[in-house]
Structure 1
Amino acid sequence: MREIKFQVFTEDWKGVKKCFDCYYLYLLEEIPLSFGTPKDGRWYKVAFTNSEGDKETVVVDRDKIRMFTGLKDKNGKEIYEGDIVEFNNCDYQRTAGHLDDEIIVGEVEYSCGVWGLKEANGQLHDLYISLVNDEEAEVIGNIYENSELLEWKE
């Protein structure tokens, strides 16, 4: 059974801005107008352990919350939504008769019921199949802290 876990990208009271592990996530029904309008129309209350080990809560919209995929990379690092993963895509070339190695870098996202790895050209690879077939897949960053790895998104 897949473990259900979340992270939130936020700034804690010490000014540290990163992805923190969540221990509580709640969809809020009523939000004061002072919060503005979230991108997906919903605000979430998130509780996390900050950089000092203290418990803290924030209200964020959905694009700051990362869900755990249930998968790990070659180093045993957990893979979350919004992670940037690099892997070697070995496509068999029927005409050439040999393996063609191609390094692919993409963003992990949930689409059409599966976790996918979205390339610069928009192609979506099934993340599970990519990891099972390639032991070299590795998390190299995430869209919040390392957006420069995905310059193609701009």
Structure 2
Amino acid sequence: MRPIEFKAQNVNGVWVCGNFSILKKKIGNVDAGSYISNSAGEPFAYKVRPETVSQFTGLKDKSGKKIFEGDIVKVTGDEDCEFTSIVEYFGEGDYPAFDMTAPEDYYFESNKFSEILMSISYELEVIGNIHENPELLEVATC
């Protein structure tokens, strides 16, 4: 089973990782809002910007870097063809999964994200995320 982990930007713009929780009302001296805490749940919890919360896919790129929802990845294939895409969560019905889009020239039978990661013909590398680097999403080059 994959570890459940989240990352998000705290209110100062620093990325933090750990457990994610939402407080719907103030509890003691803690305001309502979205929080990420360390894996033990204490003693630190960081208030985060909810729009930046990203779930860990359970997978790593070619360099061993954890891949999170919202990450922008560069896919390099045979013959120096490459494209970039955003990793997204698709929770449709009984098939919750992380996936990504690929240019129409690329054919994948089902989940592009997992097929690319399992293939010996492609390499996948995290190069940024949609919140800080949207300009990294570009067209394919071959």
Interval containing the TM-score (normalised by the shorter chain) = 0.5 to 0.7
Q: Which residue of 1 aligns with 2:29?
A: none
TM-score by length of 1: 0.63
Instruction: State the percentage of identical aligned residues.
Output: 32
Q: How far, CA to CA, are the matches of 2:47 and 2:37 in structure 1?
A: 8
Give the superposition deviation at 1:138. Answer: 0.5
Structure 1 segments unaligned to the other structure (5+ residues): 32-42, 91-99
Paired position in structure 1 for 2:115:
129
Once residues 69 and 145 of structure 1 are traced to their aligned partners in structure 2, the CA distance between those partners, rounded to angstroms, is 19
Residue 58 of structure 2 is aligned to residue 70 of structure 1: yes
- CA drift at 1:10: 2.7
Structure 1 stretches (4+) deviating beyond 4 angstroms?
Answer: none
Which residue number in structure 2 is paired with residue 40 of structure 1? Answer: none
Contact 2:72 2:129 in 1 (8 A): yes
1:105 alignment partner AA: T
- The structure with the largest strand share of the pair is 1
Q: Which residue of 2 aligns with 1:25?
A: 20
Change (3 A) 1:28 1:11: closer
Displacement of 1:125 in angstroms is: 5.3
Question: What is aligned with 1:107?
Answer: 86
SS of the aligned residue for 1:84 comes to: strand
Whole-angstrom distance in 1 between the partners of 2:24 and 2:11: 23
Q: Which residue of 2 aligns with 1:9?
A: 9
* 1:133 Cα deviation after fit: 0.8
Give the Å deviation of 1:60: 3.8
Task: Return the alpha-carbon distance in structure 2 between the equivalents of residues 48 and 30 of structure 1.
Answer: 17
User: How many residues are matched?
Assistant: 121
C-alpha separation in 1, matches of 2:136 and 2:68: 16
Cα distance in 2 between the residues matched to 1:71 and 1:86: 15
Instruction: Name the larger-Rg structure.
Output: 1
